[in-house]
Amino acid sequence: MIAIVDYGLGNVTAIANMYKRLNIEAVLASTADDLRRADRLILPGVGSFDWAMQSLARSGLRGTLDELVINARRPVLGICVGMQMMAEKSAEGMEPGLGWIAASVERLPSRPGLMLPHMGWNDVSAVRHSTLINGLDIEARFYFLHGYCFVPKDESVTIATADYGQPFASVVQSGNVYGAQFHPEKSHGWGVRLLKNFAKA
């Protein structure tokens, strides 16, 4: 079973509905017991970094998530700001991140002719193998909405990149911790494939 962390942010219902169409059991998790019953976890997120971290703290789920991800090594997928929360810190705010991956979150560079935030469809190119992107190594496109990007200290955790003025990490993996900067729940068949892959990770 997949638990989608329901802490007040993210397109949790859209993600759950995609799994329902795939006949894969997924629930919205708002309690520690909900999380502990799951085999895999999804941490969605929208909005600002600090607001997301504060919302997670208010939910009372932070400690259980750390326990399951760090100690029990349950597979977890962060989506958009959920991925950024997995870093140690963000230039967008003052709150510390979860620190599940040694990384920082930096503002996307300003370039003539490029609007911020980066919003819309973009190509995603695989740079390393991962179960998460099986079948998505050719002509995969995903929907993005972000003004900051994930910058890992170890480049080997970057699984796929996208380009917006410069290349940036669009998919990462460090052991059982996975992240996607885009929104798979808004990315049609490519997003369906990624979420299905995560169910097997």
Active site residue 183: yes
Instruction: Check the CA dihedral 98-30-69-60 and report its sign.
Output: positive
From the list 118, 146, 149, 185, the catalytic residue is 185
Q: How many CB atoms lie within 10 A of CB 20?
A: 11
CB neighbours of 23 closer than 8 A, spacing ≥ 6? none
The tokens of 133 are what? 């992107």
Active site residue 80: yes
73-107 burial code (b ≥16 CB/10 A, e <16): ebbbbbbbbbbbbbbebbebbebebbebbebbbbe
Active site residue 185: yes
From the list 80, 92, 146, 149, the catalytic residue is 80
From the list 88, 95, 183, 188, the catalytic residue is 183
For the annotated catalytic residues, the residue numbers are 80, 183, 185
